[in-house]
Chains A and B, each alone.
Chain A
Amino acid sequence: MDKIEISLTINETPYQMRVLPNDTLLEVLRNQLDLTGSKEGCDEGVCGSCTVHMDGKPVRACLTLALEARGRKIKTVEGLATGDALSDLQQSFIDHGAVQCGFCTPGMLMAGEALLSTTPGPDEQTIRRALSGNICRCTGYAKIVTAVAHAGNPQAPCPDCRTQTPYLQAKE
């Protein structure tokens, strides 16, 4: 059982590496590439904190073999921001205080991003369904849902959106 040479495209950077058949994508990301944004929570597909995008679709990195990701386009939470500029969703998470301990945040961001890329302006039920695969043990779900709903879509009556005037101005 030797290591196998694979090529992965992670956050638009191509990588060549050697992996064992029993390496999961999460282990490769965290241990070989130091992309520690994706978290290892339950490691059995229940908590969703390891969520990454594979060809634009959200998957559990802990239940994906690195070999199965061969030739796929992977996007992790590190790939959401462009340089120092945060994505709308990330900024919205900060504005709405949707981050408590932060462990579930990478998974929530990736699940939220996948939803927003297919359904712009989702309603609450759609968001809750989309995030139903992710657990937040601080139980701050309300703020996370609001953050996704208001991402790139600031609402005037929302105090969290309103206090971020520079952000609103930048939007205008």
Chain B
Amino acid sequence: MRLPRFEYLGPKTLEGALDLMATHRDDAKILAGGTDLLVRMKKGLIRPKTIISLKALDELAYIKRDTRENRNNILIGGRTLIADIIASDLVQRKAPALSRACERIGAITLQHFVGTLAGNILQDNRCWHYNQSQFHRSGRGACHKDGGKICYARQDSDRCNSTCQSDGATALMALNASITLQRKGGRRRVDLADFYTNDGIAPHAIESHELLTQICIPIQGGQSAYKRLSYRSAIDYPLVCAGVLLIPSTASPTEISEARIVVGAMGRSPLYMAAASASLGGKKLDDTDAFQKAGKAAMDTAATFAVHNVGSTLEYRYAMVAEMVFQALTEAGEAARETGQKAANKGVQ
């Protein structure tokens, strides 16, 4: 497969990149790792006239802790490589869910050295019927995402039902992360939960001249975990994934004060499970029963959104939502109890 022709621009500074994006707007696409972009271009799903490469923007490659003015955040630059995030001790300790999710993106030794977390957040929604070769798609009418009026995933659907299969986004949303979008002459900060539009055709609330420059993860105490189910252990998108965050209450460290459950690969966006999360308030960190109930509640919510378009049967994926959420909660609960224990021991000494 040949790539379609395009003009290649390699700005040397962030300013330069934003200038170019402001000039080219919709004609340009951003190239970081290329794992998602180049494949879509090869399949003729997008045909950008211009490619703006971030290769030279080393100023956007960093992982640091921000403790200015009582803030306590992990900041990750927009061009930080997935391999660097996996290797980061800070992320491993304070945001283990992200570490786990990054390990599962693509394959461990390949593409992690060029692929970025920002690229993973911005990866386009996928669908069995859409992510096909040009030849395959030419044999039938165009679907919603391809510019037509048909949905092959759900009959008579008036909208696109493509699925957001990003590992990074699910974990980051559970961690309550926000992102900075920068354009020429300005920037805005968006909570990741508001960034996903639940629209299959344009899944991200980003303008064509905006660049994702920074990911900010608040360090909130508590423990996070990420679980994922896919056919293959590598180079595969998740069929179901779940990211959770459990924050124990300060008064009684064995009880949950706040929980966040996010389920990915089941809808057009990662799905924040409000009811399931709320049901865990005040529960013990080892309350298996409550975890199972939360899993079931998440399954019921996810079932409204999922369509049969990423693999496996719907029934199996529903059941696995409950299981993935349960496993993630158990893991996070265990880790939180361990850290609680350690803190208590320290207090005694």
Contacts and interface: CB of A to CB of B under 8 A. Distances in A.
A115 B109 contact: yes
- Interface centre among B10, B106, B234, by most chain A C-beta atoms within 10 angstroms, is B234
A133 B110 contact: yes
Chain B contact residues, majority secondary structure: loop
B3 interface: yes
A111 B31 CA distance: 24
Looking at A1, A21, A115, A130, the one whose CB has the most chain B CB atoms below 10 A away is A21
A94 interface: no
Among A20, A45, A115, chain B packs the most CB atoms within 10 A around the CB of: A45
B235 A45 contact: yes
Interface in B221-253: 233-235
Interface of B: 1-8, 10, 31, 34-35, 38-39, 42-43, 51, 53, 55, 83, 106-111, 113-114, 233-235
Contacts of A44: 1, 39, 42-43
Contact of A133 (B2, B5, B7, B106): B106
Interface string A104-134: 0000000100110000000000000111111
A143 interface: no
B114 A59 contact: yes
A158 interface: no
B6 A22 contact: yes
Pairs A-B, 3 closest by C-beta atoms: A133-B107, A132-B234, A21-B8
Contacts of A160: none
Contacts of A132: 107-109, 233-235
A67 interface: yes
A57 interface: yes
A51 interface: yes
B233 A65 contact: no
A48 B107 contact: yes
B39 A24 contact: no
B39 A63 contact: yes
A136 B322 CA distance: 34
Interface string A1-35: 10010000000000000001111100100000000
Contact of A59 (B5, B39, B55, B113): B113
A114 B107 CA distance: 14
A133 B39 contact: no
Given A132-B234, A133-B110, A63 B34 contact: yes
Given A44-B39, A68-B55, A133-B235, A20 B110 contact: no
17 contacts: A20-B5, A21-B7, A45-B35, A45-B106, A45-B110, A63-B34, A63-B35, A68-B34, A68-B53, A111-B109, A111-B110, A132-B235, A133-B106, A133-B107, A133-B109, A134-B107, A134-B110
Contacts of B2: 22, 27
Contacts of A63: 34-35, 38-39, 111
Contact of A130 (B5, B38, B83, B108): B108
Given A63-B35, A63-B38, A133-B235, A21 B113 contact: no
B4 A22 contact: yes
A111 B108 CA distance: 10
A67 B235 contact: no
A21 B109 contact: no
A129 B110 contact: no
A64 interface: yes
